[in-house]
């Protein structure tokens, strides 16, 4: 098993947006154990507030698609109006919306439930973070029920 304290994802700052607290905690735990710094928001409007304060330092946004008050897609449009190149990972329990996937433009999709490795692979794709030596499934939390 890897020493998770010494494993470092370069201290990248990730904003996690999901109205389900359990999902936010699951994603946050995976990312923190891999060495990422994590900010949280419960929906798109809360995420905009966090982004106003931390925006220039946020390296990646991971957002649910369907949320109250503001959807993840509306959030992405708003964030990209300020920072067109901000990488985005959409997560949803619904089938893959093909029109959202374009890794060349910094947009990726993960269907819930997902394994920790899937999330870390997606994050590494955008952040030039070496996945080799990343924590295995036994070292990371199980997906919430």
What are 6-32's pLDDT values in tens digits?
344 678 999 999 999 999 999 999 999
pLDDT of 99:
64
**Considering the entire predicted model, what is its pTM?**
0.81
Residue 14 β-bridge partners: 38, 60
CATH superfamily of 13-128: Response regulator (3.40.50.2300)
**Residues 85-96 pLDDT 10s:** 899 999 998 876
Crossing angle of helices 21-33/116-127, nearest 10°? 60
pLDDT of 124:
86
Q: How far apart are CA 19 and CA 42, in angstroms?
A: 5
Q: How far apart are CA 28 and CA 33, in angstroms?
A: 8
Q: How far apart are CA 123 and CA 105, in angstroms?
A: 14
Q: What is the mean pLDDT of the chain?
A: 81
Say whether pLDDT at 142 is over 80: no
Q: How far apart are CA 49 and CA 101, in angstroms?
A: 26
pLDDT of 105:
75
**Residues 31-76 pLDDT 10s:** 999 999 999 999 999 999 999 999 889 999 999 999 999 999 999 9
Q: How far apart are CA 121 and CA 105, in angstroms?
A: 17
Domain boundaries, the chain: 13-128
pLDDT of 126:
82
């Amino acid at each position: 098993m890897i020493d998770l304290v010494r494993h470092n994802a370069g201290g990248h700052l990730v904003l996690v947006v999901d109205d389900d607290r359990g999902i936010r905690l699951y994603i946050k735990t995976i990312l923190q154990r891999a060495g990422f710094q994590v900010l949280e928001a419960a929906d798109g409007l809360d995420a905009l507030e966090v982004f106003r304060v931390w925006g220039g330092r946020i390296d990646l946004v991971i957002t649910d698609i369907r949320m109250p008050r503001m959807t993840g897609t509306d959030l992405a449009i708003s964030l990209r109006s300020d920072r067109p190149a901000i990488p985005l990972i959409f997560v949803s329990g619904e089938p893959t919306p093909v029109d959202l996937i374009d890794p060349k433009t910094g947009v990726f999709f993960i269907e819930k439930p997902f394994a920790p490795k899937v999330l870390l692979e997606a994050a590494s794709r955008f952040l030039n973070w070496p996945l080799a030596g990343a924590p295995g499934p036994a070292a990371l939390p199980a997906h919430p029920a």
